[in-house]
Structure 1
Amino acid sequence: MVQSVLFFVLGFLCAGFVALMIAPAIWRRAVTLTRKRVEGSMPLTLAEIQAEKDRIRAEFAMSTRRLEMSVKALREKSAEQLVEIGRGREALKELALERKDKKQALSALEAKGEDLRQRKDQLQLLSDRLAQTEHALEKRVLELKKLEHMYDDASFSSSSRQIELV
């Protein structure tokens, strides 16, 4: 059993020694690859640096232009909306004025309607009084006819008596 542990420890130490021998080579390779990647992403010459600046300026100019265009479009849209709001306000003013005129006309018509109702009531009252007066007049005419007939009868009988007396 001790022998197994010693073999295991010896194997572990050999593996560690081999790893220490290979590690610097792997480390150098990783450093080289990283350096190439960093150098590839960063400009090294003055022309490359100037080109990178120009690219960044162009991107900034493009984004600025896009923003300016969107601001211009928003301003135009805002101006159109303000014009539309102004039209709406004018329409509301016209509608309010029209409503006021219609209210006044309605009030005038209601007053005329009330006046007509009063006149109708007066006419109805006068019509009733006229009917009563006509009825009374008809009674009077009948009474006068009776009286006239009675007068004629009395006159006839008086003349007959005078004739008899003579």
Structure 2
Amino acid sequence: MIQSVLYFAFGFLSAVLLALLVAPPIWRRATLLTRKRVEAETPLTLNEIQAQRDGLRAEHAIAERKLELTLENVSEKAARQLAELSEKDRLARNLAGDLAARDATVAELRSALADRDKELEKAAKVIVGHERSLEQRSSELELLHRRMASLAMNADSLQIEAAAQSTRIENLADDLREARQDKRDSDERKRKAETDLKAIQHALEQEVKRSAELEKRANALLRQLSDSEARLSRREKEIERINERLRKVLADGRRQGSSVLEPPRGKEALVQTQETLRLREEMNTLASQVVAMVARLEGPSSAVDELLAKAGSETSPVYDENGEVIVSLADRIRALQVAASDAGKAAEPR
């Protein structure tokens, strides 16, 4: 507390000291400025005094002239105001007459107003009825607004559906164009197919003719095969009888103690051997022709081709007693197929 008081006192004394130090220069400056202002305002010479008087006279003359102008303006205003007052008096008299007329008019208007009040009462009743009808109409309008809102929603949905339908129509139009293009392509393919069909029909007719000829040949070959089989069976029976005779002769020789008889030789044995070989060759030829005919009639899906391929890959060449290669049935069939294909290519129209 004492410290705060001491600080305050020290500050106050410092401020007083500073004021005492600064006050003399400020006082001298203020005195100098005041002296200069007074000297500037107070005339010191005769010319300055005369000029000051002339200035005062000029100012007085200007003020007097301004006063005269103001007086003239006031007189003019007074004249105008008198004219206005006379005009207003005349207007007041006219207004009094108008007021009397208006009083009469007001009386008439009051009577008319009473009539109007009655009419207004009637109109108020009518308005009440109209208000009720308006309330009903407003409720109906609300219903209509709701219906219109629902119709607007339906219209929006219909517009969306219409847009979807238009999109579908465009898609259908594109599909129709594609279908027309496909139809033109299909017509072109149809014409090509008809041309190919005619060529195939022509080739089929030729193939049918060749098949008929081949069938005739097959029937003839089958008849030849049956004849050869009959001849072969007869020949086998003869060989069986010869073998039976040989067995009997050999049995008699054993009983008699003689040596084993040799098989027949000479011209008869040679004829028998040649006849047997010729029959076997005819049988193989007929069999190969029949199998080749069957494979040709069955077409590419025939099982004969698979058997021929398997036989060609599995069998090896066989030689007879003279060292010559024995032609197998598969080789004969393949040779006939090659000859038939070459003949078919040569018979095709160019």
Alignment TM-score, normalising by the size of structure 2: 0.23
Largest Rg, 1 or 2: 2
TM-score w.r.t. the length of structure 1 is 0.44
Which structure shows the higher helix fraction? 1
- Quick one: higher RCO (CA 8 Å, sep 6+), 1 or 2? 2
